[in-house]
Structure 1
Amino acid sequence: MKITIVQGAFLPVPPVLGGAVEKMWYGLAKEFIRQGHEVNYISKSYKGFADAENDHGINHIRVKGYRVPTSGIVLKILDLIYSFKAVRKISNSTDIIVSNTFWLPFILSSNQKTKCLVDVQRMPKGQMKFYTQNARLRANSSPVAKAIKAEINRKYFEKVVMIPNTLPFRNINIIDFLKKEKIILYTGRIHPEKGLDILIKSFVTLSLTDWQLLIVGPYTVETGGGGKTYLEELKKLAMSANVFFLEPIFEIDKLNAIYLKASVFVYPSVAERGETFGVSPLEAMSWGCATIVSNLDCFKDFLTHNKNGLCFDHRSEQKVEILNQLLKDLINNPKLLTDLAKEGMKVNKTHSTEKLAIDFLNEFKSMKIK
């Protein structure tokens, strides 16, 4: 098959600036190539990357993109401009189009829409009813699939498919849990919707001197963070505890090295509508971190409380105390910590690029048949 992937307007591919969606589709593109398919990859132009090149068998086509604006309205306008440029680069001979922009599913021709899988990575906000002429509406989690169906006529339900996000790497390493360090880790955007105030308060009240909390990720507004003021607020909450804020790590190997050291990973997101999957917890589980997440539905597709991780009620008035107790349980019970971590590592099979690439390819084949 000839597959065209259209990435968004704001991050380059290969994903040298990060981006969970960019990492996933770049990994899938390489796997599609490995399985004998042809891939054209349309993405944002970026310094050091040619506008047209073949790399790892992928035909890269790059068009002018943009920095992420602070205004949501401006973002949509820039996405529209980018989408008009991108659609002109789609070959007439392509069999499948994967859309990762807001406007592309609107502006594709009628024929192109019959070939298009719309990748829905966020909770929809009313636009799904305008996407129903496209062949598939792919959700990355069960809550997203449910939200898509809530916006469209029942006769289009067969177009909705749930395929989870992949791990952005292939992890075949054997984890030596004796070499794990006394590190509690968070990776992701440093933004109020991530619930980092809950995590820091919970850690501070542990009053531990031999454990440390590492918070790794971008804080600037341009990179999706809460800004310098929010970062300073978190630092004040940390007081004199062993809480360290590290710059974002975009290189996968370097980020994996942090996961390998950490014993516990916490993702305390409170984004009721913004969180749709959570790649960071999945990554941490794959590296043998005992993982704690908030009670958002999106995490329940891959994490079951007391089986392969822990979950705390982020909506409770006692959320800080609840998370604090879960951290104590893991720290004071090494067997529980290791058992949960080992069970969590099964995501290396269930969410591998190799496995989920087959799921996507099967869906593409069914699109061609119809």
Structure 2
Amino acid sequence: MITEAVGVFMKIAMLGQKSVPSRLGGVEVVVENLATQMTMKKQDVTLYNRKVKGITPVKEYKGIKICTVPTIEKKGLAAISASFFAAIQASVKKYDIVHIHAEGPAFFSWIPKLFGKKVVVTIHGLDWKRAKWKNGLGAKFIRAGEKAAVKYSDAIIVLSKSNQEYFSKKYSRETILIPNGVSNPKILSTALIQKKWNLQKNKYILYLGRIVPEKGIKNLILAFKKISTDKKLVIAGGSSDTDQFYAEIKELAKDDPRIIFTGVVQGKALEELYSNAYLYTLPSDLEGMPLSLLEAMSYGNCVLVSDIPECTDVVGMNGIIFEHGNVDDLQDKLEYAINNPTIVQKFKEKSSNYILSKYNWGKIVDKTLLVYRKCLND
């Protein structure tokens, strides 16, 4: 049935992402991979990007059509304004499927429905739980978006079993579980990262992701500072409307020269960081479907993650687990990994094959196209 779905030509609009191509967040990585592979499968895909400061808009990327919509560049209003204008444009044009990514943008799912479009919503995580959205207009918008997705969408895709259970219990709404994927990586040497940050192979522990409170970065710094090791801690990633938090953790780390903040990394620097880490860690208290964890394992990294289901479901028995929010346990597990290189190496040896066989973008795109086809047939 998947083959049948793939063979059907469809015009598809996607919205909710900030900007593609970019690595501003996990949503952007997902949308880029979905759109790229769908285009390769002869589908017609248009992405409705936000206008993002510092990013030059493009009209085409790898065969994907890209439209940049008007955006009010103020905190809390960028996503709302861009999603509204994207939903309007996608509604008045001839698309078979309008695919909305994330809970906030799903608030406008009623607009394409009003115009007779089939609407698919992907819930990348329960965004209203995130620290930056717990109050104010943004929080209300996201919660309303979740309810709109339930009411107006023809299909809801979730990335984890816990989110699937949430929608079933709270709304009695059936959802489709399609996790994120990962591609075969290119392993690189330390040429660039050694020059930029003096990083050598297996001499650093890597966190890579958005710099936001729910990722557990503060606890990671507190735990690492208590450990006697010559390995460095690399914190790679940028702020996501969380400049104050970023400043706070940099202040916390300023007296430890082993802790390095790289800012946003892309391209070769990103690949080199993944390729040469001794250990990758994701100490999150909250996740949707952690793409950086998939990517780290695809590069053959030993991983240390918190015990939240979104992390443990990915890792299985192929990594080291600590109790989320527990600084002492995180410190113990970091020390265990540092002091047991043989065990770390064993995890490294099986990590890549395990994750690449389980989370394959080709299969995930086919499953998504099948969801589209079923919506059109209903």
TM-score range, shorter chain: 0.7 to 0.9
Aligned to 2:298: 286
Deviation of residue 290 (structure 1)?
Answer: 0.8
Aligned to 1:234: 252
Deviation of residue 282 (structure 1)?
Answer: 1.6
Is the CA contact (8 Å cut-off) linking 2:25 and 2:210 kept in structure 1? no
Q: Does 1:28 align with 2:34?
A: yes
Aligned to 2:111: 107
Structure 1 unaligned regions, length at least 5:
none
When residues 229 and 25 of structure 1 are mapped into structure 2, their CA distance, relative to the original with a 3 A threshold, is closer
Deviation of residue 92 (structure 1)?
Answer: 4.5
- Which of 258-267 and 94-103 deviates more? 94-103
Provide the C-alpha distance between the structure 1 equivalents of 2:79 and 2:213, rounded to a whole number of angstroms. Answer: 25
When residues 88 and 228 of structure 1 are mapped into structure 2, their CA distance, relative to the original with a 3 A threshold, is closer
Deviation of residue 162 (structure 1)?
Answer: 1.1
Provide the C-alpha distance between the structure 2 equivalents of 1:180 and 1:202, rounded to a whole number of angstroms. Answer: 22
Is the CA contact (8 Å cut-off) linking 2:211 and 2:246 kept in structure 1? no
Aligned to 1:348: 356
Give 1 or 2: higher helix fraction: 2
Is the CA contact (8 Å cut-off) linking 1:138 and 1:162 kept in structure 2? yes
Is the CA contact (8 Å cut-off) linking 2:187 and 2:272 kept in structure 1? no
Deviation of residue 29 (structure 1)?
Answer: 0.7
Structure 2 unaligned regions, length at least 5:
1-8, 129-142, 191-199
Instruction: Name the aligned partner's letter for residue 237 of structure 2.
Output: G
Please list, as runs of the form range in 1=range in 2, the aligned pairs for 1:75-114 lying within 5 A after superposition.
75=77, 78-90=78-90, 92-100=93-101, 101-110=105-114, 112=116
When residues 182 and 232 of structure 1 are mapped into structure 2, their CA distance, relative to the original with a 3 A threshold, is closer
Alignment coverage as a number of residue pairs = 338
Is the CA contact (8 Å cut-off) linking 2:36 and 2:63 kept in structure 1? yes
Is the CA contact (8 Å cut-off) linking 2:113 and 2:152 kept in structure 1? no
Provide the C-alpha distance between the structure 2 equivalents of 1:281 and 1:66, rounded to a whole number of angstroms. Answer: 32
Provide the C-alpha distance between the structure 2 equivalents of 1:172 and 1:362, rounded to a whole number of angstroms. Answer: 30
Deviation of residue 360 (structure 1)?
Answer: 0.9
Q: Does 1:161 align with 2:176?
A: yes
Provide the C-alpha distance between the structure 2 equivalents of 1:3 and 1:68, rounded to a whole number of angstroms. Answer: 32
CA RMSD in angstroms comes to 2.6
* Normalised TM-score (structure 2): 0.81
Report Cα offsets for 1:122-156 as digits up to 9, x if no partner: 2165544433331111111111222222331x3x4
Deviation of residue 40 (structure 1)?
Answer: 1.6
Aligned to 1:208: 229
Report Cα offsets for 1:161-217 as digits up to 9, x if no partner: 1111223x44265999xx9422101112233322223212322222112x1111112
Match for residue 267 of structure 1 among 270, 282, 301: 282
Is the CA contact (8 Å cut-off) linking 1:190 and 1:226 kept in structure 2? no
When residues 174 and 216 of structure 1 are mapped into structure 2, their CA distance, relative to the original with a 3 A threshold, is closer
Provide the C-alpha distance between the structure 1 equivalents of 2:270 and 2:46, rounded to a whole number of angstroms. Answer: 28
Report Cα offsets for 1:232-264 as digits up to 9, x if no partner: 43225xx33511122221x23321111111010
Match for residue 310 of structure 1 among 320, 337, 345: 320
